[in-house]
């Protein structure tokens, strides 16, 4: 009896599996018959068109570079020069920074300021502590009021920021025919072209304006300045300053030195940032190599192993022969 019931349950399970397979095939065939290839192609084409259209609209709305001026108004594009300090593995030339500071003090400081730079920033970079203390004490800064409440002045300290040549903006405009000399602390970062633009501007004054160029009265022609009319006249001439290290003070040499100095005022941390960047690259690459080798050491046994499955051996029992009047033997447990 137990053997017969087991056979019946096995046949029932087989029939149920066959029925489920047939049902799955019918559902698959019905779903495939409902979605035609033409509809799928149309849907894929529409999705592709929407994707490309949205990308094109985004580029048209936000991807294009905006210019405040037309190329004619923006001026001549400056020539790209191979600045040594701009390379990844190079730093500022500290002798050039010292010469550039000298050019700024003797030529540029009469109109332009670098009010975002303190005197202490030069210590260890271009000058010694005693030199910067002496330069700072040459300037007078507002001090504490006296016993009667009157304002006083004091000699500058190394922690003070550099003074501007004019007391306020109105005084600067009055001394320069209405033009306001900008602060040069961040000028390299504030102008398109950076060092190339400032160098080309300082060395781009022609002897005479070219034929056909119209310059307003009180302005000077410079093809690199937007509009080609600039209030600042040419200020660098050969031999204008006498360098301490006896470097020939040509126009291009002075322009190169002061441009590198202005790049330093805009980015005084550039050398340290480059050093930190190389440290990060070395440490990150080392940790990455260690992680790759550790991953290989830990996971190679797991990924290279082979799993074999040995199914148990099953022997088919011979069919039972029953005769009338005999009962089958009970199944062995």
- 319 vs 24, 34, 255, 333, CA distance in Å? 34, 49, 108, 18
Number of independent structural domains in the chain = 1
**What is the percentage of the chain residues whose pLDDT exceeds 90?**
57
Query: Chain-wide mean pLDDT for the chain?
Result: 84
Please say whether the beta carbons of 160 and 136 come within 8 A. yes
Specify the CATH number for the domain of residue 252.
Answer: 1.10.760.10
Query: Has residue 13 got a pLDDT over 60?
Result: no
292 within domain boundaries: no
Cβ-Cβ contacts under 8 Å for 114 (sequence gap 6 or more) = 104, 162, 183, 184, 185, 265
**What is the percentage of the chain residues whose pLDDT exceeds 70?**
80
Q: Give 249-265 pLDDT, tens digit per residue.
A: 999 999 999 999 999 99
Residue 1's pLDDT is what? 46
Higher local confidence (pLDDT), 109 or 61: 109
Query: Has residue 28 got a pLDDT over 50?
Result: no
Residue 217's pLDDT is what? 87
- Whether 294 has a binding-site annotation, put simply, is no
128 within domain boundaries: no
Residue 316's pLDDT is what? 66
Q: Decide: residue 123, CB within 10 A, 0-12 exposed, 13-18 middle, 19+ buried.
A: middle
| φ and ψ of 128, to 5 deg | -90, 175
303 within domain boundaries: no
127 within domain boundaries: no
Query: Has residue 176 got a pLDDT over 80?
Result: yes
Nearest residue to 228 (alpha-carbon basis) of 248, 254, 200, 188? 200
Please say whether the beta carbons of 241 and 249 come within 8 A. yes
220 within domain boundaries: yes
Please say whether the beta carbons of 197 and 74 come within 8 A. no
Residue 254 backbone class (left: φ over 0; alpha: ψ -120 to 50; beta: rest)? alpha
Residue 214's pLDDT is what? 85
**What SS3 state is found at 263?**
helix
Please say whether the beta carbons of 180 and 172 come within 8 A. yes
- Whether 195 has a binding-site annotation, put simply, is no
Q: Give 264-310 pLDDT, tens digit per residue.
A: 999 999 999 999 999 999 999 999 999 999 888 888 888 888 888 88
263 within domain boundaries: yes
- Whether 111 has a binding-site annotation, put simply, is yes
16 within domain boundaries: no
Tokens of 156: 């500058």
Residue 197's pLDDT is what? 94
Residue 322's pLDDT is what? 55
Query: Has residue 116 got a pLDDT over 70?
Result: yes
298 within domain boundaries: no
Q: pLDDT-derived band of residue 22, with 50, 70 and 90 as boundaries?
A: very low
Please say whether the beta carbons of 258 and 108 come within 8 A. yes
Distance separating alpha carbons of residues 184 and 8, to the nearest angstrom: 97
- Residue 206 belongs to what domain range? 92-117+162-273
Q: How many CA atoms lie within 13 A of 310 on its CB side?
A: 1
pTM for this prediction: 0.69
Query: Has residue 136 got a pLDDT over 80?
Result: yes
């Amino acid at each position: 009896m137990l053997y017969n019931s087991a056979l019946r349950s096995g046949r029932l399970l087989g029939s149920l599996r066959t029925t489920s397979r047939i049902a799955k095939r019918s559902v698959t065939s019905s779903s495939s018959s409902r979605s035609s290839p033409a509809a799928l192609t149309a849907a894929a084409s529409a999705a592709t068109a929407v994707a490309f259209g949205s990308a094109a609209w985004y580029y048209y709305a936000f991807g294009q570079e905006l210019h405040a001026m037309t190329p004619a108004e923006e001026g001549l594009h400056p020539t790209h020069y191979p600045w040594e300090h701009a390379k990844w593995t190079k730093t500022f030339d500290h002798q050039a920074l010292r010469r550039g500071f000298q050019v700024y003090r003797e030529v540029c400081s009469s109109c332009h300021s670098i009010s975002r730079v303190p005197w202490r920033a030069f210590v260890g970079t271009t000058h010694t502590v005693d030199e910067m203390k002496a330069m700072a004490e040459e300037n007078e800064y507002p001090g504490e009021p006296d016993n009667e409440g009157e304002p006083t002045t004091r000699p500058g300290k190394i922690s003070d920021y550099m003074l501007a040549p004019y007391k306020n903006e109105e005084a600067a405009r009055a001394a320069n025919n209405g033009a306001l000399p900008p602060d040069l602390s961040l000028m390299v970062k504030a102008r398109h072209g950076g060092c190339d633009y400032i160098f080309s501007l300082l060395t781009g004054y022609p002897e005479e304006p070219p034929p056909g160029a119209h310059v307003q009265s009180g302005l000077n022609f410079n093809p690199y300045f937007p509009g080609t009319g600039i209030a600042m006249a040419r200020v660098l001439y050969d031999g204008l300053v006498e360098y301490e290290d006896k470097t020939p003070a040509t126009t291009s040499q002075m322009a190169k030195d002061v441009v590198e100095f202005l790049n330093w005022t805009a980015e005084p941390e550039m050398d340290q940032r480059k050093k930190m960047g190389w440290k990060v690259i070395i440490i990150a690459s080392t940790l990455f190599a260690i992680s790759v080798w550790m991953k290989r050491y830990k996971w190679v046994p797991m990924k290279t192993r082979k799993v074999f499955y040995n199914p148990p051996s099953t022997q088919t029992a011979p069919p039972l022969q029953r005769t009338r009047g005999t009962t089958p033997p009970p199944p062995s447990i």
